[in-house]
Structure 1
Amino acid sequence: MKYQSFFWDFDGTIFDTYPIMVQAFMTALTRQQVSELELDEQEIYEVMRQHSFGTAKQQFSAEFSIDAERLEHDYRQIESQHIEQAQPFAGMLDLLQQLNDVGGTHYLLTHRNRSANQLLETADIKRLFADEVTSEQPFPRKPNPASLNALIERNGVKRPEAIMIGDRTLDIDAGHNAGIAGALFDPGRLIDFRSSQPEINVTNVGELKAALLQ
């Protein structure tokens, strides 16, 4: 097996949280009198996937001439009430377990807060992770490699045997900025991978399993 240390993004990689995130965002928009008829669920999803929540906040608050900070406040409140409904991608627990069984070590690197750990615990996945960085630790956001470097250094990880797995360009860039490989997990083929050049580029858990276990 080429890789031994696996650094995982959470949203859209381990857990399929985007449906809940998009619905929370749409509800937050309607709280500022934006009509549901004006909203394109797929467009919101694509902006979040291809860029970030911050980009979605700025883009849609400008488009509808609403208060961006209130939009974020309402979104965070709504999302926190529903995020517990999120589930891991089908086959993800099995993949994590198989990698662990053959000597792999898992690390979590996410912009999400402690809710990520709560979801991992509920899904019986938390036990498979050796260490983590969440939003509650004072690191700059990806693609800055500081948080990834911290995990690598405090766990004595060998960089040639490590890979960052995520669903966005910034995840791959963070990995490369830290001197490790990157695996793009891209359901729907929404990401232009030419800029980040991931070592692995897949669209589903089955493909990811085949690539990581070889």
Structure 2
Amino acid sequence: MDLFWDFDGTLFDTYPVMVKSFQKTLTHFGVTNFNSIEIYQTMRQYSLGKAIDKYRPKQTSSSIFRTSYRRVEDQYLNQAKPFDNALKVCQRNVQASGRNFLLTHRNDQAKQLLDDYKFTSLFSGFVTENDHFPRKPDPASLVYLIQKFQVNKKAAIMIGDRNLDILAAHNAGIKGILFDPDNCVLVESAPERQIQQLSELLSEI
């Protein structure tokens, strides 16, 4: 099986770091009235960009806010850890002659975290922000990996925690599994399967 993995909220539980960094950035710009749960839900249901547009002070541009946010997040990102069984599923897939691929909007920091937690050797290919593909649900990055590695679409699955991951999968002609550990997502993307624990993927391999 060829598994295409999202990073944030799928392989690694980065949302605690993201929400913490977002709150600190809001405070930096003078915003003190916010709800951390609502920020998290906006990130999960939509994206970081949507959260920025929703919560940033209107006198602060999205690009300026995002730059400040990234500076804060850089200080805490090494606190993020893999979800339970993430490494086990990747290992099992390789043992079964499958391949793992990374497909993320995050920059090469994602690859560094994979390396820190001994994932790198289990992955055959990577697309990060540094590769400058359009953002999901545009399928361009998926199509690139599919073509480069001659992937059989019938034996390929995209795993992600947001609707846009599933939509990207469908736009590229492969199946999508929605990982929603806390039942936070309003499902609008018709995933082939929805799971709450990564260990549930072992039955797919």
Note whether the superposition's TM-score is higher than 0.5. yes
Q: 1:104-119, aligned counterparts within 5 Å? A: 104-119=98-113
* Identity within the alignment, %: 44
- After superposing on structure 2, the runs of 4+ consecutive aligned residues of structure 1 that deviate more than 6 Å are none
Letter in 2 for 1:119: L
Deviates more, 1:11-20 or 1:64-73: 64-73
1:203 matches 2:203: no
8 Å CA contact 1:185–1:208 kept in 2: the answer is: no
Query: Number of paired residues?
Result: 204
Structure 2 gaps of 5+ residues are: none
Q: Deviations over 1:100-138 (max 9, x none)?
A: 111110011000111000000000001100011110112
What is the deviation of 1:70? 2.8
Equivalent position of 1:39 in the other structure: 34
Q: Which amino acid aligns with 1:201?
A: Q
Q: CA deviation at 1:82?
A: 1.0
TM-score by length of 2: 0.96
Gaps of at least 5 residues in structure 1 are none
Report the secondary structure of 2:13's partner residue.
Answer: coil
2:38 paired with 1:51 = no
By how many angstroms is 1:66 displaced? 4.4
RMSD between aligned residues: 1.1
Tell me the residue number matched to 2:155. Answer: 161
Q: What TM-score does the superposition give when structure 1 sets the normalisation length?
A: 0.92
**Counterpart position of 2:18:** 21
User: Which secondary structure state, in structure 2, belongs to the residue aligned with residue 131 of structure 1?
Assistant: strand
Is structure 2 residue 181 aligned with structure 1 residue 184?
no
Partner residue in 1 for 2:145: 151
Give runs of aligned pairs for residues 55-204 of structure 1, distance below 5 A. 55-61=50-56, 64-68=57-61, 69-193=63-187, 195-204=188-197
Counterpart of 1:30 in 2: which secondary structure?
helix
Determine if contact 1:6/1:164 at 8 Å carries over to the other structure: yes
SS at match of 2:94: helix
